[in-house]
Chains A and B, each alone.
Chain A
Amino acid sequence: MKLKQLTPLMVATGLTAMSGFAQAAELEVTVQNLTRGIYFTPILITAHSPEQQLFNVGEAASTELQAMAEGGDISGFETAVDALSADTVANPAGGLLMPTAATTTTLSTMDGNTALSIVAMMLPTNDGFIGLNSWMIPEEPGTYTVYINAYDAGTEANDEIRGGGAPGAPGLPVPPPLEDLVGTGGSGVTSEVTNATVHIHPGNLGDNDTEAGMSDISNTVQRWLNPVAMVTVTVSE
């Protein structure tokens, strides 16, 4: 399955190198939430120059990434990518993307905007997010599937108890319907950030006590294994 997808990708990369310029493209992009019980906050889908990145594993998060990963606020990213002449769709799902739900949008890219990035916060987490980082858009028309993983922005301790979504505010933001799906009374899993750079998220711990315990997260429903999202990109003829 993966080999089949890689082959057209490699061909497309070769064509880019040979032709020496990157053309505008018409894309249809679908993001599906694959998880059992995690919600995605408003999604940012953006095509930009391959020299730019929204985040990098092993590097500290930008303030825009921190605002997105801690509170689901993509407005900072929108301003930043607009300044870079990126082609962007913000919030295609019109709010939270429910577990297993999918959202589809179209994206017209300008010459040079050949890299695709997608981010959204995962709820309930402290600063977990789904991240597709500068994926090279194939020039060859076709449908391509990419599975994406959960990252930790490294900006907030994963205490797993109710709190706020503003940058720097501890705890989990719990907008509806999370208000009713997250427990109360947890003592807090940890108050430390042990890796202050962007890294693969260690996963929610959770517990099975909705009124006490260490965590306000449910360990049978609100955990996940990677991958957490499937992105399907159709490049038009």
Chain B
Amino acid sequence: MVIQKRFGLSMLALSCLALTACDHNDDDEPAPVPPADVSYSYEVTVQNLTQGQPLSPVGVALHGDAVMWEVGMSASAALEVLAEGGDNSDFTASEGVMASASGAGPIAPGSSEAITVTVVNEPDTFISVATMLVNTNDSFAGITGHALGELEVNQSMTMVLPVLDAGTEANSEVAGTIPGPADGGEGYNAERDDADLVSFHPGVVSADDGLTMSVLTAAHRFDNPAVKLTITRVE
């Protein structure tokens, strides 16, 4: 902003000089200065608050006024891929996404990662962030359609997130159905054998708490909130 103003002033000074130097040629207007591009950059910091649920690489997307999921609605195919297998590539490539970024890798319990996403000349975007709790069948945490337009540079917002259930895969917890290190089983599968509605997650049960077929233990249990999210506008 400051740079732009100074630039404008010096241009004005130059044009005055030019005017005084020339022969009162009023038709000789200076060429209009094209407005400079403005970048809007956001640093998204995701911290894992669980005891035993690594988070899949975080998907971050900037888009218009829309949501990428809603409790009570069927999950999109892109969200299903993320929530069942931890793969955010379809999610961040969804229609209408103006800019996106992915975390470098899984986030271990207690750890955090900062991811930066930038758009140019789009001051009023909305953000969606999603990550899978990988030792589950199809759970994820995130926010969607959160307005960024009122965030000033260096201003941030912090929130803690509950765990959601994509509703696309039954929470069987059986061997071969969970992609995380607790099992090393299958991730995404196009079949939908659950409610097919996004809901809050009922929690994992685990073999230690009476689900005899479960590959999970007490170490994989979680409660809300599971993720801390901070969004800071850095540019």
Q: Select which of A205, A207, A224 is within 8 A of B202 by beta carbon.
A: A224
Which residue of the partner chain B has the closest CB to A220? B171
CB pair B71 A1 closer than 8 Å: no
Contact digits for B45-86, partner A, Cβ 8 Å, 1 yes 0 no: 000000000000000000000000001100000000000000
A-B pairs with beta carbons under 8 A, tally = 83
Stretch from B12-20, B183-191, B193-201 forming part of the interface with A: B193-201
Q: Select which of B71, B172, B201, B210 is within 8 A of A225 by beta carbon.
A: B201
Q: How far is the CB of A163 from chain B (nearest CB, A)?
A: 21
CB pair B211 A220 closer than 8 Å: yes
Contact digits for B139-168, partner A, Cβ 8 Å, 1 yes 0 no: 000010010000000000111001101010
User: Within 8 Å CB of B198, what residues of A?
Assistant: 100
Instruction: Kindly state whether residue A80 has any CB partner on chain B within 8 Å.
Output: no
CB pair A225 B72 closer than 8 Å: no
User: Within 8 Å CB of B159, what residues of A?
Assistant: 1-2
CB pair A220 B195 closer than 8 Å: no
Q: Select which of B71, B72, B172 is within 8 A of A220 by beta carbon.
A: B172
CB pair A35 B210 closer than 8 Å: no
CB pair B205 A99 closer than 8 Å: no
User: Within 8 Å CB of B199, what residues of A?
Assistant: 34-36, 99-100
User: Within 8 Å CB of B72, what residues of A?
Assistant: 32, 100-102
**CB-contacts of A194-236 with B (<8 A):** 203, 205-208, 219-228, 230
Complex CA distance for A230 and B224, rounded to whole angstroms: 15
Q: How far is the CB of B189 from chain A (nearest CB, A)?
A: 17
Complex CA distance for A208 and B214, rounded to whole angstroms: 10
Which residue of the partner chain A has the closest CB to B203? A225
Question: Interface residue tally of chain A, by bracket?
Answer: 20 to 34
Complex CA distance for A118 and B158, rounded to whole angstroms: 28
Which residue of the partner chain A has the closest CB to B150? A4
Q: Select which of A37, A208, A225 is within 8 A of B163 by beta carbon.
A: A225
Residues of A contacting B: mostly: loop
Q: A208-B210, A219-B210 are in contact. Are A225 and B195 (CB under 8 A)?
A: no
Instruction: Kindly state whether residue B111 has any CB partner on chain A within 8 Å.
Output: no
Contact digits for B171-187, partner A, Cβ 8 Å, 1 yes 0 no: 11100000000000000
User: Within 8 Å CB of B211, what residues of A?
Assistant: 208, 219-220
CB pair B173 A220 closer than 8 Å: yes
Q: Select which of A2, A37, A208 is within 8 A of B213 by beta carbon.
A: A208
User: Within 8 Å CB of A226, what residues of B?
Assistant: 223-224
CB pair A220 B170 closer than 8 Å: yes
**CB-contacts of A139-196 with B (<8 A):** none
Instruction: Kindly state whether residue B39 has any CB partner on chain A within 8 Å.
Output: no
Complex CA distance for A203 and B204, rounded to whole angstroms: 13
User: Within 8 Å CB of A206, what residues of B?
Assistant: 205, 210
Q: Select which of B157, B172, B203, B224 is within 8 A of A1 by beta carbon.
A: B157
User: Within 8 Å CB of B171, what residues of A?
Assistant: 36, 220-221
CB pair A100 B71 closer than 8 Å: yes
CB pair A36 B71 closer than 8 Å: no
Complex A-B, nearest 7 residue pairs according to Cβ-Cβ distance, in ascending order: A100-B72, A34-B200, A223-B202, A1-B159, A36-B202, A36-B199, A219-B205
Q: List 6 A-B contacts (CB under 8 A).
A: A32-B71, A35-B200, A36-B165, A36-B202, A222-B202, A227-B200
Given pairs A100-B197, A219-B205, A224-B200, 8 additional interface contacts (CB within 8 A): A1-B146, A2-B159, A36-B202, A37-B195, A206-B210, A208-B205, A220-B205, A224-B202
Interface residues in chain A, defined as those with a beta carbon under 8 Å from any beta carbon in chain B: 1-4, 32, 34-37, 99-102, 203, 205-208, 219-228, 230
